[in-house]
Structures are given as C-alpha cells and as structure tokens.
Structure 1
Amino acid sequence: MPSPNALRRGRRLSSALALGITAIVATTPAATAGSDGRFGWPLQPRPAVLRHFDKPAQNWLPGHRGVDLAGAEGQTVLAAGDGIVVFAGTVADKPVVSIEHPGGLRTTYEPVRAEIPVGRRVGRGTRIGTLESGHPGCATACLHWGARVEGDRRRNREYLDPLGLLRLTPLRLKPVRP
C-alpha cells in the first residue's frame, strides 16, 4: 500500500496535469472558436451587428469587449451555447447574465432581465431572459454580448470576439449572365 505522502503527491500531480490540459484546451482556437457549431446567435432572428468587438492592447485599457446586437425591448435572449448560469444579477445598475461553458469560456449578456437562476444548466437556445433598453451607445434596445476565457485568478483572462463562436456562412453571389 502506498504511503499517505505518496498518495498526496500523486493527487497533486494529477491535479496539476488536469489544470495544464484544461489550459491548453481552453486556449486552442478549436476550443474558443466554436468551429463545431456548438454556439448560436443569442437573439432570433439573426440580429444586425451595431458595434463590433474592439479588443484593447491591454485588458485595463478602453475598448469594446463584445458586440452590440440590434434587438427590441422585451425580446427573448437565448443561451449561445451549453453551460451553467454563473451570474444573474445587477452590475453597475445593469442587469447581466453570465454563462460558463466547457473549457473556461464565459459568455455575458446585458442588459438582460434574468429568467433563470444561478446554477441552472442550460443548452444552446435556452431562454435565459428578456432584453431591456438602456445599453450605452444604442439608440434602441440592443444586446451587448461578450465572451472571454477565464485565466488564473482573473489575471490572465482573454476577451474574445463572440462572433468567432458562430459558424458564419460566407455570402456567395451567383454570377450575372448577360
């Protein structure tokens, strides 16, 4: 029978290995790009993008860490992918919902009045709440949709363009025949 010290060393090694593998998977393009179609639009029908992602050079600098999608007040907001609701409340007087997805990916939705509790497992397309008006920079109601990969103790979080989670089909035009 192994000694208690050997068992503890083995558990620490297993934990470190699991964390290392998780970090590698979470930072690979396949894990964050959603190339397998695991993610969909949080609003239906497919919304217009009013403001695009503008990643700052450093996380503490100004930028636009998500996209603003055209919507209507009271419109249903959907989970973009499978995950667990980790936050449903108010941040700086704005209602926000956050969903943790496999691989350390987190998506955020604001201003959204939550209709689903923290801890609830959701699937892609699950109704999570309703869109409210009042997002800065939007003349009408719009959804600010963000995505990031969580790092170690929030120090190494990486903001991503949430549109990269979608499988967008390129527009192809047919040739005009004379």
Structure 2
Amino acid sequence: MRRSPLIPRPRRRVGLIVLLLALVVALVGPLLPVRPAAVGAETVQEAPVWVGRAVEVADEAPSSPWVWPTGTREVVRPWEAPASDYAAGHGGIDLAAPLGTPAVAVADGTVSFAGQVAGRGVVTIDHGDGLLSTLDSVEPSVRTGDTVEQGAAVGVVTVGHCPAVAACVHLGARVDGRYVDPLPFLPPAAWPVLLPESAWPG
C-alpha cells in the first residue's frame, strides 16, 4: 500500500524545523545583549579609576579649596610618594618663586608653627579637620597661634629648600598626620617647568 502524497513525511518535517531554528539563531543571536552588567563590572575593575578621579579634582578650579601660595603655578619638582613609610620620597611640590616673593596662606586657618627647621624658615597652618599646609623656605611674618585668612601674607621666599639660582617654595600637605600630594587641593597648574634631577635638593 502506497503512502498518500498529501501526508508529509515525519523525517522531512523534523529536518525543516531544525533548519528554521538554525536560521533564527544565526540571524537574531548577534543582536542579543551580552550581559551588560557583567561587562560593566569588569570594565570598572580594570579601569585606572584613581587616576581618573585625581584628574577630575585638579580640573575643578572653582571648587579648589586652596590658592597658590606665591602667585606662580610653575611646579619645578612634583610630589613623589615613598614606596613605604620609611622610604625616601618628596613630601610636597616645589614652586618656582624669586627670592623676596610674598608667600600667602593657601586657605583660612591657624598658624601652628612659624620658625626655623634645619636652618630654613617654615610656616605651618592648621586648616581644621586634620588638614595642614606647610611652606618651607619662607621667612615668617606671622607667629604661632595667629589666625590667618586665605591669601593673607605669612612671609617671604628665602634661600633654603632649593638653590639660590633657582629659588622655590616647598608646599606640603598633611591629612591626619600623613603627607599627601598638595596639587589636587590647588587650581590647575601651568605647564610645569621641571628642573633636571641633578638640581633637585636632597
């Protein structure tokens, strides 16, 4: 007995369904989302987030809490974080400033020290909340305990941290007793004029 030609063969029908499913997967598959949450999480972990945040802070000039202490924005030696608490580093930034240049308070605060340290004039100001600024190589015109406002004169630049032929002011910052890079507290710097390493003070 012959099978009626109107009734499809089962094997042919199954093969047709498999072929259609394969075509649908091939066409629609590339358009499907690929777990955006997981990809996003991996991207955040791999991105240099701290570098990005540092740049954002430095670029926000209107919200910068400090002012440049000598009017110049030329950094002749940058901050260098020590490899450990006992390793050498450079706990601040050196700003080009001719001898006799007035030095001002970077922010409101109280003078916690004004005097000589290792033969150099130093002024330290307590800004509250554990934040202190230090101006090294400045002849103080204020005394310990004085209250100063941002931009008020606290001394003049003298020889000390940098050689006389390239005088500078060393600006330091401490948060809860630890030295930090003061640059993010300041408005954006000018193009840095970096001294050769052989000219850096020890």
- TM over 0.5, shorter chain: yes
The structure with more strand, counted as a fraction of residues: 1
Q: Does residue 54 of structure 1 match 2:80?
A: yes
Q: Which runs of 5 or more structure 1 residues have no equivalent in the other structure?
A: 1-28, 151-156, 172-178
Letter in 2 for 1:69: L
Out of 67, 82, 94, the position equivalent to 1:40 is 67
AA at the equivalent of 1:91? V
- Is 1:159 matched with 2:179? yes
C-alpha RMSD over aligned residues: 2.3
Deviation at 1:134, TM superposition (A): 3.0
Task: Compare CA radii of gyration and give the structure with the larger one.
Answer: 2
More helix by share: 2
TM-score of the superposed pair, with normalisation by structure 1: 0.68
Alignment counterpart, residue 140 of structure 2, candidates 85, 107, 114: 114
TM-score by length of 2: 0.60
**Partner SS, residue 96 of structure 1:** strand
Aligned residue among 102, 117, 122 for 1:91: 117
Matching of residues 72-83 of structure 1 within 5 Å: 72-83=98-109
SS of residue matched to 2:184 = helix
| Contact 2:157 2:168 (8 Å CA) reproduced | yes
For the pair 1:133 / 2:159, whether they are aligned, the reply is yes
Q: Give yes or no for contact 1:133–1:140 (8 Å, CA) kept in 2.
A: no
Unaligned segments of structure 2, at least 5 residues: 1-52, 192-202
What amino acid sits opposite 1:37 in the alignment?
S
SS in 2 for 1:164: helix
Relative to structure 1, the CA distance from residue 51 to residue 138 in structure 2 (aligned partners, 3 Å threshold; closer, same or farther) is farther
**How high is the sequence identity, in percent, across the aligned residues?**
36
Report if the CA contact (8 A) 1:70-1:141 is conserved: yes
